[in-house]
Every structure is written in C-alpha cells, then in structure tokens.
C-alpha cells in the first residue's frame, strides 16, 4: 500500500471517532493495553506530559512543546484531531511523522494488531509512541483524546499531568454535570505525579481535584494561584503578557482564551523545572512568540485574510465559543458574516444562544459524517433569531460570504473543527 491507501485502510478498518462519532468510540483501556504489549511499551523510553481538559488542551500542548524544544529537548507532540494532514497529529520538534513510517507501521504490524480490533485513535496513538521512541525523543507532550480516565492515552505514567479546565462537552460519555465531567478528567492524575489545574471552576470541582490529588499523594498546583500577577494587553493580533518572572512575553496566539492557557503553561513550566528540566527564560519567550512556526499549530483565532478580515477558530462548544464571541465583539468592522457549522452530537441550543443576532449567517455542513445537516442547523438557529442561508459545503458558504462582504467587513468561520478543516485549504 502507498501512503494514501494506508490512510484509507486506517479510516475504513478502524473508524475514527472524530469523523463518524459514537460508533467509533470504545470504552476502556483493554485495547490500548493490548496494543502497548504488542509494541513493547514504547512510551516508557522517554518522559511524557499528559494534557486533558474540555478546552485549551491543544494550545497548551503546542505551547509546552514549543518551549521544550526551544530549551533543547527533542520533543514529541501527539494531538488530535488533525485539520488538513493526518500527520499533524504526530510531530517531533515540529516536524510531522514521515509518510514511509506510517506505511511501514501498518504493513509490518497489521497481522499483530488486527486481532485486537483497535479504534483509529488507539492505533494511531501507539504509532505515535513508537515513532517517538524510534526518534529517541527526550520528552513527549500527549494530548488526551476524550475525557481522561478511560481515554486511550491514560496508559502512560507522565512526569506531569495537566487539566486545563472543565466545561460541558461529550456529555453522553462523560456525564451531564461539571463534577461528573471533572471525575473523568481527574482520571489522568497518577500517584505521586504533580498535576496542574488551569482553571478552578466551581467550588465542588476544585474540591474534587484537591481530594483526588490528596488521595494519590500527587502534588497539585492551581494556575490561577501560581501565576496571580499576569496582565495582558492586546497588540495587533498578539498578546503582550507581563509577570514578575517574565516581564514581556509576546504571545503569538491571539485568542482571548490564551490568557488562561498562559497561566497554565507558565505553571507547568515551573513544575517541570522543579523536576530537573532546564528551561531558560529565552525558551519561554521564544516558545510563546513562535509557537506556530515551531509546532505547526493552526485554527486558533487564525487570521486567513486581511480585506475583508477573515478569521477562523476551532472552538466547538459553549465553553469555548463564549470567549470567541466576546473577541468578535471587540473586532472593528462594518458588518459581520458568520460561516457556521456544527457536529451532530453537540449541544446546539447552548451554542446558538451565544451567537450574535446582528450578523449574516451562512449555515454549512463539513465534509464528515458527524456534521450536522445545514438545513436543520438553519431551522434551529431561526428560533434564536439568527438568520441566513444554508450551503451544502464549507467552500460554497465561504465563497458566498466573500462575495457579500466589503473590504471593511469581518468573516468568521467556525462552530466545528471540521468546518475549519474544510476552510483552511481554500486559503493556502
């Protein structure tokens, strides 16, 4: 098989949750543990950092990876989903996994892993672990796929655990209250392993984390307490952060949510240094200011075009879209156009209630099975006073928005990472 045929095999034989949803989701760690035995526990050959949370875990993971590789550590990075190229999920010092390794991995081990019947995520996770071992990385940042306690990645014993925040998402699997969701996320806390909590959230959630950490003798730090002197000022499309320890950090990621992520990353950096990592100040500065070029991160309040101003963001639940909508209010434009689509398993009502009414909508459907029908989304949006047209593809919706927009207007593309994934190639 060539590379494209190998990807087709992976998608067809091991369906991807991100593409088809619930039917691809497998509960429990038995498959992951079985695969790990087949491949000889490759993640034990290097240090790992485990990152969970409802939102912000992707940005946090990329920022930490950028800082570590700038500090001189050969750094693996495993994230999901990808936006354009499958290989975005697996990187070493920013470079994507080689196509030949993907092909050889399947051809060499197919007879061994097929009897396990792994999910797409379980198998690609093990592919990443093996690639990192072969590349002899010093450390790998591993992003949780869904939840924490039963996520495939939870077979690792990291040097540091991070939980960015708790919000409503994937309630069918994780629970429909914040404490229930927090229990699942807290499942990545390991005995004796330090854990960073990015946002405390509700008092009950905070106490749950404290109790879990205490029961496992895991040192716990809350980023809001550790970095309590952070100030942030917008400068163009970037942030200028200031703390006593780091007077002027230029943040390349311009989203409002990045202020919270910055506290989390600085706290994590401090804990890593306490464990013996050498991370000079200039590595922190460079990691924040060059995270996109260092790691290839895309889709976070990303400017795609200046006139009209076109911005995309992968925020896909009410917790994440709240910050995005607040940021749109702060933008300067004559008229606002929203190219908007969602996955069919999201809480549409909570999301639609956040969206601005003084806006022209282009409801659309991404090119994945999980995408919500654009006509149904348009009907639901109408009950919230949101009006516009519907389009069968993101490309059609974007083209119509550009046609209708003046150079001083703003077009926002989002609602789902799949919508952003379909939009990005239009601007390359």
pLDDT per residue over 64-74, tens digit each?
Answer: 999 999 999 99
Give yes or no for residue 340 having a pLDDT over 80: yes
Longest dimension (CA), the chain: 59
Q: What is the pLDDT of residue 15?
A: 54
Query: Start-end ranges of CATH 3.90.190.20 in the chain?
Result: 302-427
**pLDDT at position 27 over 90:** no
158-214 residue pLDDT tens: 999 999 998 765 445 565 688 888 999 999 999 999 999 999 888 999 999 999 999
Q: What average pLDDT does this structure show over 316-340?
A: 93
Task: Kindly tell me if the per-residue pLDDT of 136 is higher than 50.
Answer: yes
Q: Is the CATH number of domain 302-427 3.90.190.20?
A: yes
Retrieve residue 332's tokens.
């300067």
SS3 119: coil
The pLDDT assigned to 207 comes to 94
- Selected residue with higher pLDDT from 120 and 94: 94
Alpha-carbon gap, residue 145 to 185, rounded angstroms = 11
Instruction: Write down the CATH superfamily of domain 3-295.
Output: Mur-like, catalytic domain (3.40.1190.10)
Q: Under DSSP, is residue 196 helix (H, G, I), strand (E, B) or coil?
A: strand
At 176 the pLDDT is 66
Where in the sequence of the chain do the CATH 3.40.1190.10 domains occur? 3-295
As given in the structure block, the two tokens for residue 275 are 């464990």
> CB-based contacts of 62: which residues, under 8 Å, 6+ apart?
77, 79, 291, 295, 297
Residue in this structure with the two tokens 């992707």, named with its chain if needed:
58
Is there a contact between 193 and 212 (Cβ–Cβ < 8 Å)? no
165 closest CA partner among 307, 311, 323: 323
If you search the block for the tokens 């994230």, which residue do you land on?
A: 79
What is the structure's pLDDT at 169?
54
Q: Are 144 and 47 in contact (CB under 8 A)?
A: no
Closest CA to 174 of 347, 356, 14, 6: 347
Find out whether 158 and 271 touch, Cβ atoms under 8 Å: no
Q: Supply φ then ψ for residue 71, to 5 degrees.
A: -75, -5
Tokens matching residue 359: 């806006």
For 377-391, what is each residue's pLDDT tens digit? 999 999 999 999 999
pTM: 0.93
């Amino acid at each position: 098989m060539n590379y494209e045929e190998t990807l087709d095999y992976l998608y067809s034989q091991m369906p991807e949750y991100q593409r088809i949803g619930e039917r691809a989701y497998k509960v429990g760690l038995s498959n992951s543990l079985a695969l790990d035995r087949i491949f000889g526990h490759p993640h034990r050959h290097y240090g790992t950092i485990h990152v969970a949370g409802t939102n912000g875990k992707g940005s946090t993971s990329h920022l930490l990876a950028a800082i570590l590789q700038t500090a001189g550590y050969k750094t693996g990075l495993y994230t999901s989903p990808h936006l354009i190229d499958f290989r975005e999920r697996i990187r070493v010092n920013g470079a994507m996994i080689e196509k030949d390794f993907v092909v050889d991995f399947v051809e060499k081990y197919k007879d061994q892993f097929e009897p396990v019947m792994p999910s797409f995520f379980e198998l690609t996770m093990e592919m990443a672990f093996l690639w990192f071992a072969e590349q002899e990385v010093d450390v790998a940042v591993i992003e949780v796929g869904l939840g924490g306690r039963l996520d495939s990645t939870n077979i690792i014993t990291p040097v540091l655990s991070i939980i960015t925040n708790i919000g409503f998402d994937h309630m069918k699997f994780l629970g429909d209250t914040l404490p229930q969701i927090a229990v699942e996320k807290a499942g990545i806390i390991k005995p004796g392993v330090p854990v960073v909590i990015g946002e405390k959230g509700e008092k009950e959630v905070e106490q749950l984390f404290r109790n879990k950490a205490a029961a496992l003798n895991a040192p716990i730090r809350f980023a809001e307490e550790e970095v309590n002197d952070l100030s942030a000022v917008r400068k163009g499309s970037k942030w200028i952060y200031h703390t006593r320890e780091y007077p002027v950090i230029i943040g390349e990621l311009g989203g409002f949510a990045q202020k919270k992520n910055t506290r989390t990353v600085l706290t994590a950096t401090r804990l890593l240094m306490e464990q013996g990592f050498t991370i000079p100040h200039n590595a922190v500065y460079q990691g924040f200011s060059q995270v996109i070029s260092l790691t290839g991160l895309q889709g976070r309040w990303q400017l795609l075009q200046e006139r009209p101003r076109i911005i995309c963001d992968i925020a896909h639940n009410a917790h994440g879209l709240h910050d995005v909508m607040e940021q749109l209010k702060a933008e300067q434009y004559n008229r606002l156009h929203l190219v908007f689509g969602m996955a069919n398993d999201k809480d549409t009502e909570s999301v639609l209630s956040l969206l601005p009414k003084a806006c022209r909508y282009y409801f659309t459907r991404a090119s994945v099975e999980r995408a919500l029908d654009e006509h149904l989304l348009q009907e639901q949006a109408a009950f919230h006073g949101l009006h516009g047209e519907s389009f069968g593809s993101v490309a059609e919706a974007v083209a119509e928005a550009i046609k209708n927009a003046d150079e001083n207007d703003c077009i926002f593309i989002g609602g789902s990472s799949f919508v952003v994934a379909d939009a990005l190639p239009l601007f390359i």
